Amino acid sequence: MAKNDNMLAILWMLNSGDKLTAKQIAEKLEINIRTVYRYIDALSTSGVPIIADAGHNGGYYLQNNYIRAPLLFDIEEKKALLHAAVFAKEAGHPLSEALERATAKLKLYSSQEQESILSRHLAGFEVINRMGASSVQPLLVELERAVANEVSIEINYRTGRDVASKDRMIDPYGMIFWNNKWYIVAYCHLRNEIRSFRVERILQIMQTEKTFKRPKAFSARDFFMQNLLPDLVGKEGLVTVIIRGRAEALDDLCLHWFLGHHLKTRTADQAVFVLEENTVYQYVPYFLLPYGKSIHIVEPRRLKEKLVAVASELLEYYQL
């Protein structure tokens, strides 16, 4: 039996839960006892948690039943994993090289029939995503490592408003991929509060020796979405926006990342949204402008006037 086969056999023998001596293993595999010692050493070096007890009742066994079940995937599971890898790659996953190796192994350890099926399904499955700048990739790798190891980092960051960048010390709690952009949710030592930072605006990351402890049960996703789309239940100063128009235009509006969150009712030709007053007049006109004459604002009247003002400013700007 080949060396690799013998080592695998030893692994499965130990996985039975019984404590086995080197002599017992050697007799079962019909190999020299010194060879068993070499294979045990090689398995331990590779990371397999083999425990060795000395003495009269000693022997080898695996810590906590190391291999609970063989890692085998059926064809549907393989398809799902390969399709998920396509999404991750298009999103600019920070460990894209490791992902490539993993998917290659998944294909490698498939039968010829399975490989043919997987190739057919992958050929008809593609994802188009607006990829970020390639300079973001090294940042994502560093951020992912800092989040996992709970290590504070110093970032040189430029906000959307400021021309000059600033240095900030942050405790990175989690990474978010949303609306084709990567964000890091972190405790900011400058502001003394949790904030989110767009990765593409990070100019440099400096490692530190400081560590932190992420708050228990903290969800970066929940924090991010709550700040992006806060719950308006019980809030005052809300405005009802009624929009009529073509069905396809209303469908698109109701799926809008912001307006869809505030949708209250929808009929074939009308959609009703409830939003905060300052949001209605500050942002909504710009959301509605691309829809042109395919929609009609029923109320509030002030939103109509604001949309006219925005369109007039654009007209004046381009006539100069």
Query: SS in 3 state form for 138-190?
Result: HHHHHHHHHHHHCEEEEEEECCCCCCCCEEEEEEEEEEEEECCEEEEEEEECC
pLDDT band at 237 (very low <50, low <70, confident <90, very high): confident
Give every CB contact of residue 140 below 8 A, 6+ residues apart in sequence: 92, 93, 94, 175, 182, 199
Hey, what amino acid is at 3?
Answer: K
Query: Which long-range contacts does 10-17 make (Cβ < 8 Å, 24+ apart)?
Result: 10/36, 10/39, 10/40, 10/43, 11/43, 11/48, 11/62, 11/67, 12/67, 14/50, 14/60, 14/61, 14/62, 14/66, 15/62, 15/65, 15/66, 15/67, 17/61, 17/62, 17/65
Q: What percent of the chain has pLDDT over 90?
A: 54
Instruction: Classify domain 3-62 by CATH architecture.
Output: Orthogonal Bundle (1.10)
Mean pLDDT of the chain: 88
From CA 76, how far away is CA 94, in angstroms rounded? 26
Cα end-to-end distance, the chain, whole Å: 84
Name the residue with tokens 């929609």.
295
Domain ranges of the chain: 3-62, 75-123, 137-228, 238-319
Domain 238-319 part of CATH 3.30.70: yes
Query: Comparing 23-32, 65-74, 79-88, 167-176, which segment has the lowest mean pLDDT?
Result: 65-74
Q: What is the mean pLDDT of residues 147-151?
A: 95
- Give the pair of three-digit tokens for residue 296: 């009609």
What pLDDT shows up at residue 115?
83
The torsion angle over the Cα atoms of residues 223, 225, 229 and 231, rounded to 10 degrees, is -60
Residue with the larger pLDDT of the pair 115 and 238: 238
What single DSSP character describes residue 230?
A: -
Same fold, 3-62 and 137-228: no
Convert the pLDDT of each residue in 151-207 to its tens digit.
Answer: 999 999 998 777 788 999 999 999 999 988 899 999 999 999 999 999 999 999 999
Residue 71 pLDDT exceeds 60: no
Q: Where are the alpha helices (DSSP H) in 70-135?
A: 75-90, 96-108, 112-123
Classified by CATH at the fold level, domain 137-228 comes out as SH3 type barrels. (2.30.30)
What percent of the chain is helix, strand and coil (3-state, nearest 5)? 45, 25, 30
Highest mean pLDDT pick, 77-81, 94-98, 104-108, 288-292: 288-292
Convert the pLDDT of each residue in 282-320 to its tens digit.
Answer: 999 999 999 999 999 999 999 999 999 999 999 999 987
